């Protein structure tokens, strides 16, 4: 648990430009787009778009380098888990501008804190508001709604209930979704500066009833949204949902029921104190007997392989096939079916092993393993890699393949391709 000590410096490593700098870039793009409409000259528009796309590529690259350089392995795995739990994707240009800052702002500072704080930060981060259309949702009876005929968008409200907190099996109804969506109206962020704002002109007037409890009723305010989020964070169904999801990710696709119950109890007892929940997971014997039951997802596989190589910058350039001043490490993950910052939707990535070890998925891993082997064969010996990458877990078949490969690079590739390296 010492790895969770905050202030280790790695929370910030992901950062890159701030949200305010990012929204400024998007505003410049939008301005160029308007100008292009009248002038017909699109060169400025293209330049602004290129700047955002380039930042996004750097964000993707940095997301791979951060865990490669971090000494805090468990913290990095938790960061991945929570960023996936609150998945946001770079679907369009504005989302791509913001997505690279989401984890640094909303996830990493709260990993060792309470679920309440994490939920507040993640569910209301500008990247989430854009991704789930909250910035466009307007109370039908609000001033803006009545004047411009604009209305509600349920997307964020539904996903908070279904994915972020209670889980889809919990006993909420469509009415809860709608009322919660009405409560969320007004939540937005300023394109100037990028800060979370509350716009009373868009907020649906009157109290909203979510899960039987009434919120608001006075002048619309952000505080009522926070109260509802806090209640959702404290809900017993949330404790169950989070405990199970952590156990699925860290132990087995079908986790031990007693382990989940133990974690759920820790969540409830501690009021959603996350280190208590992690501690409950780590102290339970079922967490340790499941070793090898999970397949590493491509991101985890790629980071583990790079950590085993421990490349210097020049080697990273070779691995990432540096061209025109840019490395393309992230391209390997695109091919393996897990493009960085592009999960398939708000539900995040699939967990099941069978989802990842498909013919195509495995082929992409083997290709990248070969590429690593060819790139590193002058420095690395397969027998050394066996020790550093696998240690005691290397099986006889892997030793045989690594040692008997026709060429050195093949031996390296077999180590990365081995089942024990692809499982955890």
Partner 1 sequence: MIQIDRRSFLGAACSAAAAPLLTPVRLAAAEGENRLVTIILRGAMDALGVFAPLEDPNFRALRPTLGHGAPRGGYINLSDGFAVDGRLAPLVPMWRRGELAVAHAVSTPYRGKRSHFDGQDMLETGVGDVADIGDGWLNRALARIGGRELETAIAVGDRAMLLTQGAAPVRSWAPGASLTLKDDERRLLTRLYADDPLFANAAAMAADLSDLGADGGGAAGDPNIRVAAYAATRLSEEARIAAFSINGWDTHAGQRHALNRPLRALANALTSLRDGLGPAWERTLVVSMTEFGRTARENGNKGTDHGTGGAAILAGGALAKAAILGDWPGIAEGDLYEGRDLRPTMDVRRYPAWALHALFGLDRAALETAVFPGLDMGPAQRFIA
Binding site for partner 1 (CB under 8 A): 133, 136-138, 140, 145, 149-155, 158, 162, 168-169, 172-174, 177, 295, 334-335, 337, 339, 342, 344-345, 347, 350, 352-355, 357-364, 366-367, 369-370, 373, 395, 397-398, 400-401, 404-406, 409-410, 413-414, 417-419, 422
Residue 33 or residue 350: which is nearer to partner 1 going by CB? 350
Structure tokens at 179: 């009322």
State the nearest-atom distance from the C-beta of 44 to partner 1, in Å.
23
CB of 318 to partner 1, least distance (A): 16
Quickly tell me which residue has 């509802």 as its tokens: 228
User: Of 18 and 423, which has the nearer Cβ to partner 1?
Assistant: 423
Which CB atom, from 172 or from 180, has the smaller least distance to partner 1?
172
* Residues whose CB is less than 8 angstroms from the CB of residue 315 and which lie 6 or more positions away in sequence, other chains included: 309, 375, 376, 379
H/E segment holding residue 198: strand 196-198
The residues, ordered by sequence, that sit 6+ positions from 285 with a Cβ below 8 Å of its Cβ are none
Rank residues 18 and 347 by Cβ distance to partner 1 and give the closer one.
347
Least distance between partner 1 and beta carbon 314 (Å): 23
**What are the structure tokens assigned to 274, written together?**
């996350």
Beta bridge partner(s), residue 394: none
At residue 268, the 3 state secondary structure works out as helix
Q: Identify which of residues 77 and 423 has a Cβ nearer to partner 1 in the complex.
A: 423
* N-to-C CA span, the chain: 19
Least CB distance to partner 1 at residue 152 (A): 6
CA distances from 199 to 22, 24, 139, 156, 321 (A): 21, 20, 11, 17, 47
Residue placing its CB nearer to partner 1 in the complex, 11 or 412? 412
In whole angstroms, how close is the CB of 189 to partner 1 at the nearest point?
Answer: 16
Q: Are 114 and 266 in contact (CB under 8 A)?
A: no
Q: Cβ closer to partner 1: 92 or 310? A: 92
Min dist CB 127 to partner 1, Å, is: 16
> 43 or 404: whose CB is closer to partner 1?
404
Q: How far is the CB of 354 from partner 1 (least distance, A)?
A: 6
Nearer to partner 1, 10 or 368 (CB): 368
Instruction: Find tokens 């290129």 and name the residue.
Output: 50
**Closest to partner 1 by CB, 23 or 185:** 185
Structure tokens at 184: 């969320």
**Whole-number minimum distance, CB 232 to partner 1, in Å?**
16
- Nearest approach in angstroms of CB 410 to partner 1 is 5
The gap from C-alpha 109 to its chain's centroid, in whole angstroms, comes to 14
Closest CA to 100 of 50, 51, 47, 62: 62
> In Å, how far are 39, 157, 242, 339 from 238, measured between CA atoms?
53, 15, 6, 29
**Cα 89 from chain centroid (whole Å):** 9
Q: Which residues pair with 210 in a beta bridge?
A: 213
**Least distance from C-beta 167 to partner 1, angstroms?**
10
Q: Which residues are bridge partners to 188 per DSSP?
A: 197
Q: What are phi and psi of 326, to 5 degrees?
A: -125, 135
Alpha-carbon distance 333 to 302, whole Å? 8
Helix or strand holding residue 396 (H, E)? helix 396-404
H/E element, 56: helix 43-69
CA 131 and chain centroid, separation: 13
């Amino acid at each position: 648990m010492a790895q969770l000590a905050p202030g280790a410096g790695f929370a910030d490593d992901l950062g890159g430009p701030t949200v305010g700098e990012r929204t400024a870039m998007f505003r410049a793009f939008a301005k160029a787009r308007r100008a292009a409409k009248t002038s017909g000259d699109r060169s400025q528009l293209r330049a602004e778009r290129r700047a955002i796309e380039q930042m996004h590529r750097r964000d993707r690259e940095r997301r791979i380098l951060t865990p490669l350089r971090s000494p805090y392995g468990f913290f990095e795995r938790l960061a991945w888990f929570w960023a996936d739990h609150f998945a946001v994707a770079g679907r369009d240009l504005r989302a791509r501008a913001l997505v690279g800052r989401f984890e640094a702002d909303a996830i990493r500072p709260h990993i060792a804190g309470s679920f309440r704080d994490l939920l507040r930060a993640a569910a209301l981060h500008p990247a989430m508001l854009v991704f789930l259309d909250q910035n466009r949702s307007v109370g039908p009876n609000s001033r803006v709604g009545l004047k411009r005929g604009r209305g509600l968008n349920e997307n964020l409200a539904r996903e908070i209930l279904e994915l972020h907190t209670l889980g889809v099996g919990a006993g909420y109804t469509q009415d809860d979704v709608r009322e919660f969506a009405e409560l969320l109206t007004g939540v937005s962020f300023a394109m100037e500066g990028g800060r979370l704002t509350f716009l009373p002109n868009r907020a649906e007037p009157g109290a909203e009833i979510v899960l039987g409890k009434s919120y608001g009723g006075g002048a619309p305010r952000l505080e009522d949204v926070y109260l509802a989020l806090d209640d959702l964070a404290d809900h017993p169904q949330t404790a169950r949902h989070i405990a199970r999801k952590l156990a699925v990710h860290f132990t087995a696709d079908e986790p031990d029921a007693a382990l989940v119950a133990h974690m759920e109890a820790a969540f409830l007892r501690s009021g959603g104190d996350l280190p208590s929940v992690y501690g409950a997971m780590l102290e339970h014997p079922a967490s340790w007997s499941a070793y090898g039951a999970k397949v590493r997802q491509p991101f985890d596989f790629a980071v583990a392989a790079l950590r085993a190589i421990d490349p210097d910058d020049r080697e990273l350039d070779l691995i990432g096939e540096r061209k025109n001043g840019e490395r393309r490490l992230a391209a390997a993950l695109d091919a393996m079916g897990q493009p960085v910052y592009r999960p398939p939707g708000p539900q995040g990535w699939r967990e099941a092993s069978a989802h990842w070890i498909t013919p195509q998925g495995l082929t992409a891993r083997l290709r990248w393993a070969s590429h690593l082997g060819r790139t590193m064969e002058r420095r690395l010996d397969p027998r050394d890699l066996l020790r550093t990458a696998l240690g005691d877990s290397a099986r006889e078949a892997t030793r045989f393949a690594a040692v008997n490969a026709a060429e050195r690079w093949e031996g390296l590739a077999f180590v990365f391709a081995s089942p024990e390296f692809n499982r955890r």
